[in-house]
Structure 1
Amino acid sequence: MGSQSHVLVVSFPTQGHVAPLMKLSHQIADHGIKVTFVSTEFIIARLTTIMPVNNLIRLVSLPNGLEPGDDRTDALKLINSFQEVMPGHFKDLIEKSNESYDDRISCIIPRISVVWAFEVAEMMGIKSATFWMNHSVKLCNWLLCNSFYELDSLALNLVLGIIPVGPLLSGSQLGCQIGSFWLDNSTCLSWFDKQHVGSVIYVSFGSTSIFNQQQFDELALELELIGLPFLWVIQSDITNEALSEFLDGIRKRIADHGKIVDWVPQEEVLAHPSTACFISHCGWNSTLEGISKGVPFLCWPYFTNQFQNKSYVCDVWKVGLGLNPNKNRIFTRHEINTKIKALLSDDVIKTKALKLKEMAKKSVSEAPVGASFLRQRAAQLKASSKRPRVDSSTGDAFRGRPSSDPPTEEYVDPTAVVDLEPSTSTTISTRSMLETVLTVQSAHGQLLLDLLNKVAALQAELATTSSASPPAPPSDQP
């Protein structure tokens, strides 16, 4: 009897990276594959407090080199430590796991930003898959993306071999939000039950967006004055004392028509019939969840690819509206009010949003590509795990290819059935080009915002210069 197939899933230590990979991990486990989810000690500790005891996923933490008192909000320090310290621990984890016949690693699925995991996998002869694209594409065997074909057919057709496995949703079978770092405030759902259908404005900017005080005030005062029920998610760990006092005052004034909470079961909130629209930062996880629930968007991108996602929502899928900042780069309460009212009265946007919802629902129920790939890959891994392996730390032993099978039986690598790694030089060149294009697109939004800020500063400087008294004209008298 062969050993159970074993997949290592490796995530970069942020909420936006952990959540979709954890959802994918559960889908893989549902096919009878053993899954170990790997991240930093800090992240695994948070997940352990949230996830149910009978969870199918094994959680393993690796040291990331940060001391207990180090600032984990220092992105540069976190990235450097993550890249320098964890590869060695990750290799040790694989070697230790492979000492046991029942725990041998069959495949590794890292997030695209965890490049060193692909390098370790390649060095040890283990096949790998990844989400979407960057330079790690050249090292992996399969490209997975959290999307579905009907939503993004143009982009998916450009990338040979990419496999859409989305939308990756939590579902309700576990009674919790898969991959969340925070306990959900489920009391908001009973509050939703008391609201009229299609009346609640849901506001959430993810786990990393931070506004300056002026922008925060504009949004808070508009929600207070608009007269519509709203639910606003604000994490307690990104607020200071002054902001907390400000929020306490607002909570008292809006108690009859609004709620401000730390965290919510977002998919359930978006699926609730009382939800009217979603004011969102346009992170991809939130975007896909909103689309899957048929909710119109008011787009408020914060950085990087969120600007690109906003363009898809507003200009391609046409299921939302964007906000226009004033000359000081602030979204005023008047602008927010105008766009909320325009969004709630736009039947065309609502119809398109419901159409995308049906597409997403069909993709989840039928999943012609994603589910098929997972089923085939699960069967291949199971077939591979039943064949004898040799004791080796590198090479084909990890791929399930026996090196000493009798010559009378020709061995067929099970992964060859759906081996999607193109081999032609033209394809590699095309991928490299697409890699560059997508990287540039991802950064385009922030670069544009920086440019607009500089233009605004120059305009202000010119206005100041032009308002100064002009010099007296030269006299014609000698």
Structure 2
Amino acid sequence: MAAAAAQAQPRVMVLPFPAQGHVIPLMELSRKLVEHGLEIDFVNTEFNHGRVLQALAEDGAIPGGVHMLSIPDGLGPADDHTDIGALVKGLPAAMSGRLEEMIRSRKTNWMIADVSMSWALELATTVGVRVALFSTYSAAVFALRMNLPKLIEDGVVDESGNVKRHERVQLMPPVDAAEIPWVSLGSTPERRRTNIQNVLRTNRLMPLAETIICNTFMEMEPDALALLPNALPIGPLVAPTSRPAGHFLPEDLTCLAWLDAQAPCSVVYVAFGSSGILDATQFQELADGLALSGRPFLWVVRPNFTTGATEGWLDAFKRRVEGKGLIVGWAPQQRVLSHPAVACFVSHCGWNSTMEGMLHGVPFLCWPYFADQFANQSYVCNVWGTGIKLCRDERGVVTKEEIESKVARLLGDEGVKARAATWKNEACASIEEGGSSHQCLLKLVNLLGEVGSHPITA
């Protein structure tokens, strides 16, 4: 009898794109779904599977009901497994056959596919699995993605990702044409063309998804969500602060004791996510700017964060700021942002970091790097009013003087602080029982609980 009951549990496959910022929110979604009785098969690439398990700092970080599975990404041992362009190009061929075998053998009922893995929608529906899409970026950027054919038709960009008309794209939030995510993500003309063509190709598969799960909340993006009638906003998706899962690097918890020793609202927290890279000039300007600010700072410098700056230079800088600043390889970001000592967040404005900063009411100093980060900066600065942008000089460098000036300006702006506090209250209310995101989560659970409409064939 128990075995029959277990068999009846809806089984959901979760398929993230193999990058840190994609794995983390989907892991948090999985955590919520198993709390409602669903069985989750979480599929990482073999390369990331090992990194995730190795980085778990404590037993029990992966809840029961989440089954961690792995699949090859098609790259060889000597290849760069963080090369987004190579992954986008090669994953469908490398993973499709194995995924189909996994779906059939595990009797999968539903697939939740990362929007960057949209190619899998066709595979899933072909083998009789119902599909939901997960947006790892804002509802506004998803709407922008769906509007890309119209931007090409209007001559703003072409099908190779070249900007033809330098103008503001007036979606919510407005962005410059050169800051359209799939344009800014391409470091070479070939990459831009690959990105644009991939979006155009996979956009045609979107109708296969029965819903779009968004890591946002209704009050935050009402205009954008109005453009996505089948969206379920269930964010902010955040981990319980004591049980992180999905990180690729071990967290340095010593920074929490250091924060405990700092004055309330005094610390500048600096973190650029898992993929941003600064050259030696920019890295040193940032370091000097933090020192000039006169504020205590916590700075995340992960391995390979900079090109050209030597370990000797960084060691000398650490000695220079000892007692005033702390540098760590990776931080428990949820616990840092919720700490009363933190005054502001110098961020690349990745969507996960943006949502986490909003949830904890922390003002932003925005330093976008690529992809959707420019649109998120526009939200922060132009729509929500919870931060200000750092500007580059004629060399494309954010100078130490700019950093010093903007830190002082942000921390003296009571309006920004008040708006950040208001949005914190809105975000917290949305995920509490009865809140807009909580209600959407229950709708999603009910939808995923519908099994048997598309039976799996052997």
Q: What per-residue deviation string (whole Å, max 9, x for no partner) do you get for residues 157-184 of structure 1?
A: 2221211010000013xx3322211111
Please tell me whether the aligned partners of residues 209 and 302 of structure 1 are also in contact (alpha carbons under 8 angstroms): yes
**Poorly superposed stretches of 4+, deviation over 6 Å:** none
Deviates more, 1:244-253 or 1:192-201: 244-253
TM superposition shift of 1:381:
4.5
Per-residue Cα deviation, 1:142-197 (whole angstroms, up to 9, x for no partner): 1111000111111112221211010000013xx33222111111110110000000
Which whole-Å deviations, capped at 9, do the CAs of 1:402-422 have from their partners, x for residues lacking one?
xxxxxxxxxxxxxxxxxxxxx
* Sequence identity percentage: 39
Q: Matched residues in 2 for 1:340 and 1:77: separation?
A: 38
Gaps of 5+ in 1: 98-103, 394-478
AA partner of residue 43 (structure 2): V
Task: Provide the C-alpha distance between the structure 1 equivalents of 2:455 and 2:109, rounded to a whole number of angstroms.
Answer: 14
Separation in 1, partners of 2:455, 2:300: 53
Deviation at 1:243, TM superposition (A): 2.6
Q: Which residue of 2 aligns with 1:392?
A: 457
Aligned partner of residue 343 in structure 2, secondary structure: strand
RMSD, matched Cα: 1.9
**2:34 maps to what in 1?**
29
One-letter amino acid of the counterpart of residue 75, structure 2: L
Aligned with 2:416 (options 340, 349, 365): 349
**CA deviation profile, 1:225-258 (whole Å, cap 9, x unmatched):** 3221000001123346743221111111111110
Partner of residue 158, structure 1: 227
Q: Once the two structures are superposed, what CA deviation does each residue of 1:366-409 show, in whole Å capped at 9, x if it has no partner?
A: 35443334334434554637x9x96725xxxxxxxxxxxxxxxx
Q: Tell me which structure has the larger Cα radius of gyration.
A: 1
Q: Comparing 271-280 with 234-243, which one deviates more in the overlay?
A: 234-243
Does 2:86 align with 1:58?
no
Residue of structure 1 in register with 2:104 after alignment: 95
2:359 to 292, 309, 314: 292
Query: Which of the numbers 105, 108, 114 marks the counterpart of 1:105?
Result: 108
Determine helix, strand or coil for the equivalent of 2:252: coil
User: Match for residue 442 of structure 2?
Assistant: 375
Does 1:137 find its partner at 2:206? yes
Per the normalisation by structure 1, the TM-score is 0.77
Residue 10 of structure 1, CA deviation: 0.1
Kept in 1: contact 2:386–2:420 (CA 8 A): yes
3-state SS in 2 of match to 1:384: coil
Q: Deviations along 1:11-55, whole A, 9 cap, x unmatched?
A: 111001111111111011110110010021011111112345442
8 Å CA contact 1:292–1:356 kept in 2: the answer is yes
CA distance in 1, matches of 2:388, 2:318: 27
Aligned to 2:126: 123
| 1:443 corresponding residue in structure 2 | none
Look up the equivalent residue of 1:169 and give its one-letter code. Answer: V
Q: 2:322 aligns with which of 244, 252, 255?
A: 255
| Number of the residue aligned with 1:302 | 369
What secondary structure, in the 3-state scheme, does the structure 1 residue paired with 2:277 have? coil
Q: 1:47-106: per-residue Cα shift (whole Å, max 9, x none)?
A: 112345442211100011112222224333232221221111111111121xxxxxx212
User: Does 2:22 match 1:17?
Assistant: yes
Equivalenced residues, count: 383
1:39 to 30, 41, 44: 44
Q: Does structure 1 residue 224 correspond to structure 2 residue 229?
A: no
2:376 alignment partner, SS class: helix
* 3-state SS in 2 of match to 1:366: coil
Show the counterpart of 2:256.
Answer: 189
Q: Does the 8 Å contact 2:24/2:245 carry over to 1?
A: yes
